[in-house]
Amino acid sequence: MSRRGLLIVLSGPSGCGKGTVVGKLLTARNDVCVSVSCTTRAPREGEREGVHYFYKSREQFADMIRDNAFLEYAEYSGNYYGTPKAWVEERLADGMHVILEIDVQGGQNIMRLCPDAVSVFLLPPSVDVLKARLVGRCTESTEVVQQRMDAAVWELSQADTYHYQVINDDLETTVAEINAIIDREQIY
């Protein structure tokens, strides 16, 4: 039987580049997969059901909470996000390392529930860079960008509750650092 995979929590403020980093990690290694969360937020242009998220109504999400289908869930900027429990458990049992790309509340919940989880906080090079990325993405209204900046300030203050902090300045360096963390942690 293969050994159990690592549960890897990856957090960082919206716009810090988590999605791009995870995409690179998935291409770089075949022992890593990413959990696809459920959300009540509407799909952004170009996002696909089952690839970026499973899009749920608030009622469907509430039913899943009731059925205990989430490893964790949280409200973020007025929408709900949750990690499907069964899928993650199956992959870990198969020996795959599972990345959870989740917000800080969710990350801290996972650290409490799963003490073996490895947590990585991705930092933007600066708050100005973060704002520029959020505005440049052009997928959210000015009000939502402001909400996300407010959330980011609190999230950044929580970075040291994670095992590792990685500054996402140069993408290749960031991916190499996270690769090294996975290799080091899987030895234990």
Q: Which is nearer to ligand 5GP, 2 or 123 (CB)?
A: 123
Q: What share of the chain is helix, strand, coil (3-state, %, to 5)?
A: 45, 20, 30
CB 152, min distance to ligand 5GP, A: 9
Task: Please give the residue ranges that form the binding site for ligand 5GP (CB under 6 A).
Answer: 14, 18, 37, 41, 72-74, 76, 81-83, 101-103, 105-106
- The three-state DSSP-derived secondary structure of 88-122 is HHHHHHCCCEEEEECCHHHHHHHHHHCCCCEEEEE
Q: Which is nearer to ligand 5GP, 19 or 186 (CB)?
A: 19
Query: Which residues are registered as beta bridge partners of 44?
Result: none
Q: Which is nearer to ligand 5GP, 18 or 24 (CB)?
A: 18
CB 81, min distance to ligand 5GP, A: 3
CB 161, min distance to ligand 5GP, A: 14
| List of residues 6+ apart from 46 with CB closer than 8 A | none
